[in-house]
Amino acid sequence: MTRVEALRVKIFADGADLKGMVEIAKNPLIKGFTTNPSLMRKVGVTDYAAFARSALLAINDRPISFEVFADDFGTMIAQGREIASWGKNVNVKIPVMNTVGEFTGKVIRTLAAEGIVLNVTAVMTLEQVLAVAEALHPDVPAIVSVFAGRIADTGIDPIPHMQRCKIALSNLQRAELLWASPRELLNIFQADEIGCDIITATNDILSKLALVDKDLAGYSRETVQMFYRDALASRFTFRVPQSDAA
């Protein structure tokens, strides 16, 4: 059994390119999908509902997260209900706060109490995880997405932080901890080692799974060969003084 096959953490593909989502869904390692408004804007999605329904029609056997985009709590709740109605495998993404920093606990409590499966996103702090845990319904599945990659970008080691977040959710048997915004393939194995339930990954990270257990000496030679090919292709000129060339 290879290291990839031994992974316990579930890998969710992160993106909003429908063609790419359908293609990556053929990989049995992919256990779900996440999207967000920024990813949709990046690929030019303009009709949110049409995109979501197309994705759900193509992928109906694994969870897909779609995010509300309102900023007031009442509209968030209404959008959450509508998004949840799109399919049985929908997870409704709710940001942990609105744009003025108000905790969305009311939205989380209301929708979770209605049995809607939530993915609480943009979580950073342990205090936020504890507050989200308090707002979730213990009998309703949920995902808490902690942005470990962004935390690492600030110079903080995300591993002990994620371990504390895992403990904070330990009393909620149906809540899963998601390692969001990974920066490298190694993060998948780190998330697995500390007991994260899910990790998201974009296609550029997922493409590196083929490198797992690769022979490093051979990889070193391939790297040198790449540098050499690129140097030749660039047609560099390099005059070496005669005395140095001897």
Model pLDDT, residue 1:
47
Model pLDDT, residue 242:
75
Model pLDDT, residue 2:
65
Which residues in the chain come in under a pLDDT of 50?
1
* CB-facing half-sphere around the CA of 44: CA atoms within 13 A: 0
User: What contacts 228, CB < 8 A, 6 or more positions away?
Assistant: none
Tell me the per-residue pLDDT of 147-197, one tens digit each, with 9 for 90 and over: 999 999 999 999 999 999 999 999 999 999 999 999 999 999 999 999 999
Model pLDDT, residue 239:
83
208 is catalytic: no
Give kind and range of the element (H or E) at residue 67: strand 64-67
Model pLDDT, residue 5:
87
Structural domains in the chain plus CATH codes: 10-212 (3.20.20.70)
Active site residue: 10, 93, 208, 214, which one? 93
Model pLDDT, residue 122:
98
Exposure string of 132-168, with b = 16+ CB inside 10 Å and e = fewer, is bbebbbeebbbbbbbbbbebbeeeeebbebbeebbeb
Model pLDDT, residue 245:
54
Tell me the per-residue pLDDT of 212-221, one tens digit each, with 9 for 90 and over: 999 999 999 9
Residue 187: closest CA among 170, 206, 169, 168: 206
